[in-house]
Structure 1
């Protein structure tokens, strides 16, 4: 068997980061790490999908109850709360929809502007994951009243110990990191690549540049993702960490199993 065809099908440019970080002597050696990335990506997808579904459902339920009571005087579990949010950008001198507002409208209306009258749970399921951090960052309702995140965050992240308003942005940033990870999985990119972590403009955790650093950073990010799932739903967390998928994910993330990996 020749590796030339395989290398060509993957591309040397795509293999270059594997060759550099995992200190491979040639592209043929890097192929194994490329397939290891595919394997760990498939298991990581299970975790990220679990977080995504749990997050959007917890947000939807909390906001449905809050906004339905505010608008109708009755609590509803499946209410179109997004119609009451202010997704308006006034910075350009006139009112335009924010990116999140446009994302909702793309789901709720057809290209001619007709309301499709979809059920709220359908709309929620179709909103891309990257928009949820912006939903949690929204400030006001359409009537100008402020959104009561002080009460809503503890309902959404019901197992977060010591919740207060100072923790909100940290949680939102964690969701954004999860979204970047999810996009890497979706686009078949290396899920072990991470940028610098900065605080106040200073690098506190640098980008991983070798296998040891990759393993350390990957497992740290994995723990943070597992924590987020725990904050959202202890039962879902307990179920997930008991799965064979999670066991395989942890095994694939061990340094001793990376260089010896084979399909």
Structure 2
């Protein structure tokens, strides 16, 4: 937690548009509180990043393995036994496959190089192009714990099976891009009732709800792939930091303690992080 940072760093470092947006959304009363909100926002993004990376890496590797078994090891190569890709997507793959480094050596020497080099967006686009007759088998290979797999007859209706999964991954990709490009996270929508359309947060509290829903969704994606993958997130420092940050007490501590805010707030109570054994025993991650 940073201390004694001059509040003038806000005007000297950040654009007026960004400062104004944070002032308005967090109702900051001065530059010091605005700086605190900025640092809090960055801290929340940093806490979420390992989970997003875990989902992205798991997805791309499992998708690659599934497509390799369905087509060929180099399913992206544009050969006779490759997966049919739209022209734009195939061009992206071909461009990378023909790329060389400064010494003239090929950048892609094996399928693993290709998988690691392609963006999250590429993999989501690949999923969009999976033929309808191959969707069930591919999802079964990548997301064996995905609920709708229990009834194969349901897959005649993509709106109840394929599309919800695809929309979830698209949302993960958008959140990843927002964090990577340092855009405001209060644009992430949240759901109050399943029968109502998602809402854009209008307050910090609603923003925290949206972020917690997204983290829960990211974790569910890991569970759908393999239950053990979620254990790489559960009980970690990042998970508990996220839970602590996404509280009003966590936000206000940053806003009133990052710089001289002109207000006095009671000291933030020290948090004892639960051990992994305690988390498993409790069933639900929580703070004490």
TM-score relative to the length of structure 1 = 0.80
Matching residue of 1:72 = none
Matching residue of 2:134 = 148
How far apart are 1:129 and its partner, in Å? Answer: 0.5
Give distance in 2, aligned partners of 1:117 and 1:64.
17
Q: Does 1:12 align with 2:16?
A: yes
How far apart are 1:120 and its partner, in Å? Answer: 0.9
Give distance in 1, aligned partners of 2:107 and 2:205.
51
Matching residue of 1:194 = 188
Q: Deviations over 1:189-233 (max 9, x none)?
A: 223332588xxxx97222111112111211112211111111122
Give distance in 1, aligned partners of 2:108 and 2:251.
50
Match of 1:106 among 95, 100, 105: 95
Structure 1 runs of 4+ aligned residues shifted over 6 Å read none
Give distance in 1, aligned partners of 2:204 and 2:108.
51
Q: Which runs of 5+ in 1 are unaligned?
A: 69-78, 89-96, 141-145
Give distance in 1, aligned partners of 2:65 and 2:129.
17
Give distance in 1, aligned partners of 2:119 and 2:107.
18
Give distance in 2, aligned partners of 1:196 and 1:161.
22
Matching residue of 1:222 = 215
SS of residue in 1 equivalent to 2:182:
coil
Give distance in 1, aligned partners of 2:222 and 2:140.
14
How far apart are 1:61 and its partner, in Å? Answer: 1.1
Give distance in 2, aligned partners of 1:67 and 1:127.
19
**Per residue, is there more strand in 1 or in 2?**
1
Give distance in 2, aligned partners of 1:233 and 1:209.
35
TM-score relative to the length of structure 2 = 0.74
Give distance in 1, aligned partners of 2:207 and 2:108.
47
Aligned residues: 233
Give distance in 1, aligned partners of 2:225 and 2:8.
47
Query: RCO higher in 1 or 2 (8 Å CA, sep ≥ 6)?
Result: 2
Q: Which runs of 5+ in 2 are unaligned?
A: 259-288
Q: Deviations over 1:25-56 (max 9, x none)?
A: 23332110100111111111111100000000
Q: Deviations over 1:145-169 (max 9, x none)?
A: x761221111101121232533211
- Which one is further off, 247-256 or 55-64? 247-256
Provide the alpha-carbon RMSD of the alignment: 2.4
Give distance in 2, aligned partners of 1:43 and 1:106.
34
Give distance in 2, aligned partners of 1:235 and 1:101.
34
Give distance in 1, aligned partners of 2:59 and 2:182.
23
**Which structure 2 residues correspond to residues 165-184 of structure 1 after superposition, within 5 A?**
165=155, 166=158, 167-184=161-178
- Give the conservation status (yes or no) of the 8 Å contact 1:158–1:231: yes
Matching residue of 1:55 = 59
**Which structure 2 residues correspond to residues 32-71 of structure 1 after superposition, within 5 A?**
32-68=36-72
